[in-house]
């Protein structure tokens, strides 16, 4: 797997991701035999890293792309870390950023960077015997991540037609991080919906809320949010006992239908690191049911409480059936931790037919992956990779806001000066409208 | 790190410059004066960030010798290393620039980058723009090229000048046009002084009108400043007794120096995102993207908070509360650098940027931006046109500070004022012959400029009264 980090957000997230991988490798409490742990560590290292430095630090198999040196320069300043980046994998040209402008990133910066990006990518891939696919990390708000990332995903698709491309896209706060974020987001999503096999979407809003309410972090910073995103990604991508589980496998399971390619990851439990050992440990079923709850949608107009922001609750009885759930194209449940006889992982909850549309075969609807080894010292950790219709809500919001400014032609001259035309905008709008429509009209069987 | 070239034109521009450079050096931890208040003592925590600070040293200064260690302690170190400021000093009289030549920072300025002449432009825009502009075109162009060649990643030009006089307004805008012609892709950030009401020269309304027209045409972003606003800010600071460092500082400083340092602080803050690292970077070129929704509407309100040069030693407030107050102060009309209230009830906000330095966290910003969205009025599309930036290096003497940039339709009042003052004088055709006798100047230029500025202020009015249109989103068939 080759990770490519775009822009400030992508690079910050990437650094966090690799730190978490290392933390997971070094975690003392594995819960499995030495041999099993060794196997896990081996395959983790094969997945994320590429050799070692002379000082015994792992080298991340990652390419760093940015147009501003400051972030990338700070990346390997930490001498204590047990891993580092390969200096030759930095593709950076400081021309003063992309001005939060998708068009600038897509049309101008990417041209300057693309040659070296392509050659570094090729060099990395040639080193690999079994290349699984790409993991792209970026945010959709700024200019570098969204613009250069969009151009790069096109190039990668052309060059490596058969390889999986998975993108992890961070969506901006709805109150506004950047004035042009809604345009940038729509343009990026339109580009990735065609090119990437599937994109995992993370909403900053949601991550911030999780950090404040679940981790009791009243003064949440960006790195706290990145930590949650990293844990979600790792819970999905770390090795599991399914031997064929590689990126192609994930792609075929979660994004089997070409019209539905945007997935979210929900995970549990999230507890503050300091109180980890005092937290109650529930049975697997409690967590599974909790994750199922995150798929709930309200029947009436009333806003539902955001289940992701609550701790799992064991007292919830099974008899409550009156909820409606959002229809899912497919789900993958990843469980990490020991499963014993009197606490088996029951999947019926997530296999119910009312969760899926009729055209999905029941064998395809839910995939279960399990790993005995504990993830980051947690006794139990579950992640639900879900491709469900709820994703249309955030997309709809961004689309609405972008269209609202587009109506008044606000900020458009900034894009036009770099060669983006009205038609390009309309095309992007059409694509994303289509995606929203497809997800909205998804109907589950009874 | 991105680099900036400072262009200071005219007496006023050079006076701003003389406040700017000591403060810029202070930010990098270099003490410039031996007497007065030791600002470095005030700046307790600069040692913590010393590597980031010295990394960013080349953004304002050119260091000819390639060294890894860009840490300097005093002016002597600077001159030993032959450090030069990336600055172009233009004045048509000698007095202010020659003060630079004798001051403690004289080594900092390259002789080739000083353009002077005698006598001045006679408070006449036309002489500054047409006569001096033509005559010094090659000289200025060469000086700029000289400096641009020393930059490996030039990011922007910072222009400082006033609009009331002749040199600043005339030659300043001529330089601006030159920069646009030769370096069209480089940002041109203008911070200019509007004379506004208290006029020290009779022809100020003409000069202001003609220069404003040029700024609308050629600048990327304009941050207008009014002397009266600066004076009010200074006066209110003088009366504050809570801060001993500030009192000592007040006692030692000159009035214009102090007012100009407010502008200098604003410019330092504005460029901080490009110079220093932060968890949410804000580059200079993002300023224009985020704040200018339509072409030519690039006049931006700016306010820095806290405005004092140093923070009180004792702070009893809790951190979140302190942060909230920082934001509230920045929105207050008393802290704006022009005497207009961007948040007045009749006007709308087109876009806003909040750039925080120091220990402000994302949560603080999020909370306060939401507060801002609740208290101000927006057009139907601009509610989300918010930009946030986080720079981890605090300004000298503070633990955190905030720069608030607003694009508000209130700005049309400034333009109306410019036109009104102009019409008052033009009705009587007073002093016109001074302008028309200049070769290259046509009287129609007055009328054209007036029309253009009028058009711009109509644009603001149009946006203010924008009606919700009902174009529904694209339908999927």
Q: What's residue B40's pLDDT? A: 47
Q: What's residue B203's pLDDT? A: 87
SS3 for B313? coil
pTM of the predicted protein model: 0.92
C-alpha angle A368-A371-A377 in degrees, rounded to nearest 5: 130
SS3 for B5? strand
Kindly state the helix (H) or strand (E) to which residue B148 belongs, with its residue range: helix B137-148
Q: What's residue B42's pLDDT? A: 47
How large is the average pLDDT for residues A86-101? 82
- Select from A174, A396, A404, A406 the residue whose CB has the most chain B CBs within 10 Å, as the one to mutate to test that interface: A404
pLDDT > 70? residue B94: yes
How far is Cα B435 from Cα A178, in angstroms, rounded to an integer? 45
Which two three-digit tokens encode residue A5?
Answer: 């980090």
Residues forming a β-bridge with A169: A138, A201
SS3 for B375? helix
pLDDT tens for A37-52 read 999 999 999 889 988 8
Q: Report the C-alpha dihedral over residues A411, A412, A415, A417, rounded to 10 degrees.
A: -100
- Alpha-carbon gap: A425 to the closest alpha carbon of chain B (Å): 12
* Chain B contact for A79 (CB, 8 A cutoff): no
Mean pLDDT of chain A: 87
Question: In terms of C-beta distances under 8 Å and separation of at least 24 residues, what long-range contacts does A115-123 make, across chains too?
Answer: A116/A91, A117/A63, A117/A65, A117/A91, A117/A152, A117/A155, A118/A155, A118/A159, A120/A63, A120/A88, A120/A89, A120/A91, A121/A2, A121/A4, A121/A63, A121/A156, A121/A159
- Select from A76, A79, A96 the residue whose CB has the most chain B CBs within 10 Å, as the one to mutate to test that interface: A96
Residues of A in contact with B294 (CB under 8 A): 409-410, 413
How large is the average pLDDT for residues B399-411? 91
Domain borders along chain A are 2-263, 268-390, 393-440
* Chain B contact for A208 (CB, 8 A cutoff): yes
Contact B474 A426 (CB under 8 A): yes
Residues of B in contact with A220 (CB under 8 A): 361-363
- Mean pLDDT lowest among A20-29, A389-398, B90-99, B434-443: B90-99
Contact B280 A222 (CB under 8 A): yes
- Alpha-carbon gap: A232 to the closest alpha carbon of chain B (Å): 21
SS3 for B221? strand
How far is Cα B211 from Cα B204, in angstroms, rounded to an integer? 10
- Alpha-carbon gap: B438 to the closest alpha carbon of chain A (Å): 36
Query: String of b and e for B231-255 (b: at least 16 CB within 10 Å)?
Result: eebbeebeeeeebebbeebbeebee
Map out the domains of chain B with their CATH numbers.
3-41+49-240+254-305 (3.40.50.1440), 319-406 (3.30.1330.20), 412-465 (1.10.287.600)
- Alpha-carbon gap: B4 to the closest alpha carbon of chain A (Å): 11
How far is Cα B235 from Cα B227, in angstroms, rounded to an integer? 12
Which two three-digit tokens encode residue A1?
Answer: 């797997």
Contact criterion met (CB below 8 Å) for B301 and B341: no
How large is the average pLDDT for residues A389-405? 91
- For A1, other C-beta atoms within 10 Å of its C-beta total 19
Which two three-digit tokens encode residue B472?
Answer: 């529904």
Residues of B in contact with A94 (CB under 8 A): 2, 153
* Chain B contact for A424 (CB, 8 A cutoff): no
- Select from A172, A411, A427 the residue whose CB has the most chain B CBs within 10 Å, as the one to mutate to test that interface: A411
pLDDT > 80? residue A242: no
More confident residue, A80 or B182: B182
Q: What's residue B35's pLDDT? A: 45
- Select from A6, A66, A97, A433 the residue whose CB has the most chain B CBs within 10 Å, as the one to mutate to test that interface: A97
Fold of A268-390: 60s Ribosomal Protein L30; Chain: A; (3.30.1330)
Contact A208 B283 (CB under 8 A): no
Contact B387 A74 (CB under 8 A): no
- Alpha-carbon gap: B447 to the closest alpha carbon of chain A (Å): 28
Q: What's residue B408's pLDDT? A: 92
Q: What's residue A439's pLDDT? A: 92
pLDDT tens for A53-85 read 888 889 999 999 988 777 777 776 667 778 888
> B204-218 vs B444-464: helix axis angle to the nearest 10?
60
More confident residue, B256 or A66: A66
Q: What's residue B37's pLDDT? A: 47
* Chain B contact for A212 (CB, 8 A cutoff): yes
User: Do A2-263 and A268-390 come out as alike in CATH topology?
Assistant: no
pLDDT > 70? residue B314: no
- Alpha-carbon gap: A326 to the closest alpha carbon of chain B (Å): 22
Q: What is the ipTM of this complex?
A: 0.90
Among chain B residues, the shortest Cα distance to A68 is held by B1
pLDDT category at A278 given cuts 50, 70, 90 is confident
Please report how many Cα atoms fall inside a 13 Å half-sphere around the Cα of residue A411, on the Cβ side.
33
- For residue B6, with 0-12 CB atoms within 10 Å meaning exposed, 13-18 middle and 19 or more buried, which class applies? buried
Residues of A in contact with B5 (CB under 8 A): none
What is the largest distance, in Å, between two alpha-carbon atoms of chain B? Answer: 76
How far is Cα A271 from Cα A282, in angstroms, rounded to an integer? 13
pLDDT category at B281 given cuts 50, 70, 90 is confident
* Chain B contact for A179 (CB, 8 A cutoff): yes
Which two three-digit tokens encode residue A75?
Answer: 């990346």
Strand boundaries in B83-176, DSSP class E: 84-85, 87-91, 114-116, 154-162
pLDDT tens for A297-352 read 766 555 556 777 777 777 655 545 567 888 888 999 999 988 887 888 888 888 88
Contact A71 B476 (CB under 8 A): no
Nearest-CB residue to A182 (from B283, B288, B384): B384
Q: Is the dihedral of CA B199, B204, B208, B209 positive or negative?
A: positive
pLDDT tens for B13-56 read 988 888 888 888 888 877 776 544 455 444 555 566 777 777 88
- Mean pLDDT lowest among A410-424, B273-287, B352-366: B273-287
Among chain A residues, the shortest Cα distance to B467 is held by A408
Pairs across A and B, CB distance < 8 A: 145
Contact criterion met (CB below 8 Å) for A12 and A6: no
Superfamily of domain A2-263: Tubulin/FtsZ, GTPase domain (3.40.50.1440)
Contact criterion met (CB below 8 Å) for B160 and B6: yes
SS3 for B60? coil
How far the first Cα of chain A sits from its last, in Å, is 39
Sheet holding A83-84, edge to edge: A49-52, A58-60, A83-84
């Amino acid at each position: 797997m080759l990770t490519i980090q775009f822009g400030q957000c992508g690079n910050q997230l990437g650094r966090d991701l690799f730190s978490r991988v290392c933390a997971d490798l070094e975690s003392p409490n594995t819960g499995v035999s030495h041999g099993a742990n060794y196997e896990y560590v081996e395959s983790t290292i094969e997945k994320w890293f590429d050799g070692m430095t002379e000082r015994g630090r792992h080298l991340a198999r990652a390419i760093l792309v940015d147009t501003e040196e400051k972030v990338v320069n700070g990346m390997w300043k930490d001498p204590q870390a047990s891993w580092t980046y390969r200096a030759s994998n930095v593709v950076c040209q400081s021309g003063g950023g992309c001005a939060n402008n998708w068009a600038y990133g897509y049309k101008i910066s990417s041209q300057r960077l693309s040659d070296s990006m392509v050659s570094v990518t090729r060099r990395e891939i040639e080193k690999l015997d079994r290349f699984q696919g790409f993991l792209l990390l970026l945010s959709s708000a700024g200019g570098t991540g969204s613009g250069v990332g969009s151009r790069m995903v096109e190039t990668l698709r052309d060059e490596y037609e058969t390889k999986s491309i998975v993108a992890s896209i961070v969506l901006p706060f709805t109150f506004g991080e950047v004035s042009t974020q809604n345009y940038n987001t729509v343009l990026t999503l339109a580009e990735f919906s065609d090119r990437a096999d599937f994109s995992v979407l993370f909403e900053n809003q949601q991550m911030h809320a999780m950090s404040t309410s679940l981790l009791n972090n009243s003064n949440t910073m960006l790195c706290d949010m990145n930590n949650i995103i990293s844990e979600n990604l790792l819970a999905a991508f770390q090795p599991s006992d399914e031997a064929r589980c590689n990126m192609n496998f994930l792609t075929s399971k979660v994004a089997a239908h070409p019209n539905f390619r945007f997935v979210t990851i929900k995970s549990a439990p999230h507890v503050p690191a300091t109180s980890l050992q005092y937290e109650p440990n529930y049975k697997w079923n409690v967590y599974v049911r909790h994750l199922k709850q995150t798929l709930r949608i309200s029947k009436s107009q009333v806003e539902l409480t955001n289940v992701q922001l609550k701790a799992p609750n064991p007292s919830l009885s099974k008899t409550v059936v009156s909820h409606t759930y959002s229809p899912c194209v497919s789900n993958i449940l990843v469980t990490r931790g020991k499963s014993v006889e009197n606490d088996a992982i029951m999947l019926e909850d997530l296999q119910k037919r009312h969760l899926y549309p009729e055209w999905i075969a029941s064998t395809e609807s839910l995939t279960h992956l399990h790993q005995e080894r504990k993830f980051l010292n947690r006794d139990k950790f579950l992640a639900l990779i879900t491709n469900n219709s709820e994703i249309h809500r955030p997309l709809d919001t961004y689309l609405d806001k972008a269209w609202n400014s587009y109506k008044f032609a606000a900020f458009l001259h900034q894009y036009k000066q770099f060669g983006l035309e009205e038609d390009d905008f309309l095309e992007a709008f059409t694509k994303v409208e289509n995606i929203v429509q497809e997800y909205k009209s998804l109907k589950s069987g009874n | 790190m991105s680099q900036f070239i400072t262009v200071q034109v005219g007496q006023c521009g050079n006076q701003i410059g003389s406040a700017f450079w000591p403060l810029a050096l202070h930010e990098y931890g270099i003490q410039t004066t031996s007497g007065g208040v030791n600002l470095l003592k005030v700046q307790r925590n600069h040692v913590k960030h010393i590597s980031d600070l010295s990394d960013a040293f080349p953004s304002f200064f050119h260091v000819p010798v390639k060294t890894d260690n860009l840490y300097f302690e005093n002016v002597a170190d600077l001159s030993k290393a032959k450090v030069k400021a990336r600055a172009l000093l233009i004045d048509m009289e000698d007095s202010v620039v020659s003060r630079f030549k004798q001051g403690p920072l004289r080594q900092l300025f390259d002789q080739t980058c000083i353009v002077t002449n005698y006598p001045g432009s006679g408070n006449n825009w036309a002489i500054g723009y047409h006569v001096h502009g033509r005559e010094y075109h090659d000289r200025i162009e060469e000086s700029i090229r000289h400096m641009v060649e020393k930059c490996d990643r030039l990011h922007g030009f910072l222009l400082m000048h006033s609009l009331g006089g002749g040199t600043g307004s005339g030659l300043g805008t001529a330089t601006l046009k030159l920069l646009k012609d030769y370096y069209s892709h480089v940002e041109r950030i203008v911070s200019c002084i509007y004379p506004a009401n208290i006029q020290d020269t009779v022809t100020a309304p003409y000069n202001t009108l003609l220069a404003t027209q040029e700024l609308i045409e050629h600048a990327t972003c304009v941050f207008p400043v009014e002397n009266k606003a600066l004076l009010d800010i200074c006066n209110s600071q003088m009366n504050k007794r809570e801060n001993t460092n500030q009192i000592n500082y007040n006692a030692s400083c000159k009035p214009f120096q102090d007012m100009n340092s407010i502008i200098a602080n604003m410019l330092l803050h504005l460029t901080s995102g490009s110079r220093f690292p932060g968890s949410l970077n804000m580059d200079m070129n993002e300023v224009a993207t985020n704040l200018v929704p339509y072409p030519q509407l690039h006049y931006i309100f700016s306010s820095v908070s806290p405005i004092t040069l140093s923070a009180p030693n004792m702070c009893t407030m809790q951190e979140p509360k302190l942060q909230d107050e920082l934001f509230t102060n920045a929105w207050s009309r008393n802290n704006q650098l022009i005497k207009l209230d961007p948040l007045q009830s009749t006007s709308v906000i087109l876009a806003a940027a909040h750039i925080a330095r120091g220990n402000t966290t994302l949560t603080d910003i999020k909370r306060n931006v939401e507060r801002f969205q609740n208290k101000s009025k927006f057009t139907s599309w601009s509610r989300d046109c918010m930009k946030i930036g986080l720079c981890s290096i605090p300004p000298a003497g503070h633990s955190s500070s905030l720069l608030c940039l607003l694009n508000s339709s209130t700005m049309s009042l400034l333009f109306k004022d410019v036109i009104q003052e102009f019409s008052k004088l033009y009705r009587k055709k007073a002093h016109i012959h001074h302008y028309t006798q200049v070769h290259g100047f046509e009287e129609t230029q007055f009328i054209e400029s007036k029309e253009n500025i009028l058009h711009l202020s109509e644009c603001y009015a149009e946006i203010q009264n924008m009606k919700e249109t009902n174009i529904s989103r694209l339908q999927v068939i």
